[in-house]
Amino acid sequence: MLTIISRIFYYGFKNFVRNGLLSTAMIAVVSLSTVVFTGLIIANVATGNMIGFLKDKIDISVYFKTTSTEDSILKLKSALDELPEIKAVEYISADRAMEIFKEQHKDDPNITQSLAELNVNPFQASINIKANDPSQYASISSYLQADELTQYIDNVSYAKNQVVIDRLTKLINGVNRVGLVLTIILSIVAGLVVFNTVRLAIYSNRDEIGVMRLVGASNVFVRGPYIIEGVITGVISAVLCTLLLLLITSSLPALFSGSSYVDAALPGFSFSEYVYGNAFTLFLYQLAFGVGVSILSSFIAVRRYLRS
């Protein structure tokens, strides 16, 4: 058994080296597909983090009429705290809203002077509501439209925020679908290239294979070397893709003059931190993808030949 296995590996490496041009073409196509596959993984993680970041920024602001008492507002806040859809509720009094506005515009003397000349506080008391999921804002908004609450509430800022998050989610989902379709297409192309390459290798070695079958060689022994070629192709492709990914990541600061616009463009996600922190995991994904595509294509190609 050990002799058979060692010979399978020997002939697999021998065929891989002997078919240098075909082997290079296999590596190139499988590497390209693996790069797209890795890009899809990183894109999914990045968009997931970005959606989470934006979800945390989206909220509902409920503004109360100036005639509403603080007790009635706090009573509503307590009721909202009990709703399972709500993650957090923050009460901002009119005086606190004034302080926040002054702090934000402390460097603008015109605004500071205008506020000083006012005899009344122009700001309304409000409640900021964060839901567990953006889809739950609709039910929260419906709750706030109850007849017994309209006497206190002046305005609810729901529609504008919901439109933004819905459009962004649709855009990101569309990008993910395009990436998935592109990966599937390139995987099929890579599989066909490997398939046809193995068929060409089998055709060039048909006399040798015929002799092996005449002397009683099993299908496993005939198929084994081509499977090993597929494994070698997948491993080399995964190593090349990992090195390329690390090279790109390490070059980002230099390419952007010490400021990574890639990280800044994706709030809540750091491209470099993710790649460095998950380099080994990404390599395993690339290895599984490259080896899987190569082995499956090689297996199907040899199987068709052995059945013919």
Both 26 and 119 in one domain: the answer is no
Model pLDDT, residue 152: 87
Instruction: For the chain, list residues with pLDDT below 70.
Output: 1, 159-162, 165, 168-169, 201, 204-206, 208-209, 213, 217, 219, 252-268, 305-308
Residue count of the chain: 308
- 102-124 confidence digits (pLDDT tens): 888 788 888 777 777 777 778 88
Model pLDDT, residue 276: 87
Both 43 and 186 in one domain: the answer is yes
Extract the runs of DSSP E, i.e. beta strands, from the chain: 60-64, 86-92, 126-131, 153-157
Nearest to 134 by CA among 35, 58, 31, 21: 58
Both 138 and 181 in one domain: the answer is no
Burial level of 16, CB count in 10 A (0-12/13-18/19+)? buried
How far apart are the C-alpha atoms of 293 and 287, rounded to whole Å? 10
Both 108 and 209 in one domain: the answer is no
Nearest-Å Rg of the Cα atoms of the chain is 31
Residue 49 within a domain: yes
Model pLDDT, residue 258: 45
Model pLDDT, residue 283: 93
Are 124 and 153 in contact, with CB atoms under 8 Å apart?
Answer: no
Instruction: Centre a 10 Å sphere on the Cβ of residue 249 and count the other Cβ atoms it contains.
Output: 18
Model pLDDT, residue 132: 84
Give the residue carrying structure tokens 């595509």.
293
Model pLDDT, residue 260: 53
- 19-32 confidence digits (pLDDT tens): 788 788 888 888 88
Q: Which domain holds residue 242?
A: 2-54+166-307
Model pLDDT, residue 205: 67
Both 219 and 295 in one domain: the answer is yes
Both 253 and 178 in one domain: the answer is yes
Residue 286 within a domain: yes
Both 205 and 295 in one domain: the answer is yes
Instruction: Write down which residue in 124, 151, 178 finishes a domain.
Output: 151
Overall number of domains in the chain: 2
Both 6 and 134 in one domain: the answer is no
